[in-house]
Chains A and B, each alone.
Chain A
Amino acid sequence: MLLTGDLGFKVLDDYRRLRSRQFLNVGVAEQNLAAIATGLALEGHIAFTYSIGNFPTLRCLEQLRNDACYHGANVKVVAVGGGFSYGPLGFSHHATEDLAIMRALPGMTVVAPSDLWETEEATKVLAATEGCAYLRLDKSDAGRTNHAGEQFVLGKARLLRDGDAMTLIGCGGIVAELLAAADELAGEGLACRVLSHHTLTTADGEAIAAAALETGGVVTVEEHSVNGGLGGVIAEFCLENGVRPRVFRRLGLRNEFATVVGSQDYLRNRYGMGRQAIVNAVRDGIVRRAP
């Protein structure tokens, strides 16, 4: 069952036409979006809720916590417009704390895919996995990064580039910036490892430990606040498990809103998480690490 909070103009038309009995527009009422989805889930449905930005998450946070999560209901929250996807529309439409907040909910699996393949695979896996989930989509994507026969595994970071100068870890469409930065650095002879760490519920310990051991350090990049998001996930894992990357940097918003508007690309650069900022972080990390 797909429930929308009165959003998805054009986008949901095909679904609605082909699956009219599995489509429900609850209106501009996000508390009900989450609660009605829970009611449906408790009666045996797999209920996907769909809206943009912070509406299906923050606006109805308590419904997700008390109704969906506490009951372990099969509610899958889908937000389009992660990060600065709706950059020109202003701060109300920037989703830049959602990952941390959703990640704090017990039983909520959080996934931020970086490309269409990850999105498709994550959707299938989440639909087939009992319980609550948050699928955070944004308008950018990292291009087709999968190889033939690759399997998507929740909680398992995907190696997109290998290298040992530094490991760049990202989630969501901003992984495109990591790849662009890696290309630029490769031209300088700095081969960076790039990981798409799409699942934020837990860190992929194996991949992080290997990055710390085998590469010059770790730079995390997220179109999100650094508080409690991807950088937090990795940092928590490292400290709790005695994993010590020689360099550790988190790129993302630092206790701030974006108070100017602009395209997703513009805002990434303006707020220090675009290609250039990543390149600088890697260069700086390598310089400081030198004995």
Chain B
Amino acid sequence: MSAPLVVFDKVEKQFGDFVAVKQLDFEIREGEFLAIMGPSGCGKTTTLRMLAGLDAPTVGEIRLGGRVMNDVAPHDRDTPLVWQSLALFPFLTARQNVEFGLKMRGVGAAERKERALKWLEKMGILEFADRDISTLSGGQKQRVALARSLVMEPQILLLDEPLSALDAHLVIRMQAVLTDLQRELGITFVYVTHSQSEAFAMADRVIIMGKGEIAQIGTPKDIYRAPANQFVAEFVGRNNILSGNVQALSNETARITTPSGNFTVPTNTVQLTQGAKASFVISADLVHISLGEPDGENKAQCKLISEEFVGSMVTLFLEDAHGQEFKVQMQERELSKFDLNSGDQIWLSWDTASAHVLDQS
């Protein structure tokens, strides 16, 4: 693997007494689509702003292509940002907006126009080139904002929740536009979002942040199937989290006692000790349901509380006799075989390999 494009070296940022981010220690690879995800106030936007030079790190170093960026002014960087508010200049037309960065870089009028029009065409909004920004729709503005950044032909594009103001159907369309663009251009995208679906749909790797620190870095699949800790497991949401004590240890598995029963978990990721506290998760889509008691080591009897449909997928919300909540995700046509009603008692079960033990620290 080639040298990383961006390195965050023990970066910390304080605003007065408030520590916005700390111990930021990660790399961004050349050409990857990296998503930084976390709840509001987790420091994800601050991280992006430091990369753009709009905030300076209090401690640590940020390197871009090997060059230390801490003291480089924002206008001397090649890190265009697509803003949450889009931040299009209302006093300029669509084309003039796209030309703005080139004008600042001293590109001549003729070349500026040509490059701006090329990008507006690429984004499918050439016909709106001479339109006033305020007359464009949300999706069109979005494309102008993307064109304005990409016309600079940067090595890295920063995106700060750019889709959060769009309608749901437009979000899906723009996700496709973004992933296609990223693949075609081969440049690095750093995408900040609070939306798990956006991050998981588009990113090669995801950084989960919480309270100013990195909670986990990994591929969407890693994070979804094997959350590193309770915070990530809860943030990702579609997980069943069970806690108890280690009752017995064998080579590759452990038996954990919880109020809801005893369960077997694989121990290949975390070192467990006899009698210690342990938590584990099972993704909601890896849980099976049955009316009769199933075979196997991992099972729980639950009462159906409610159902939630999203397209052809359905999420069941259940609770066992000890108040432990469970979520099960499955295809609607599969569920319809069972003919369930709220309050029905059913059995849940899962394979030992589906469980994932969380890091307690």
Is the pairing of A and B real?
Answer: no
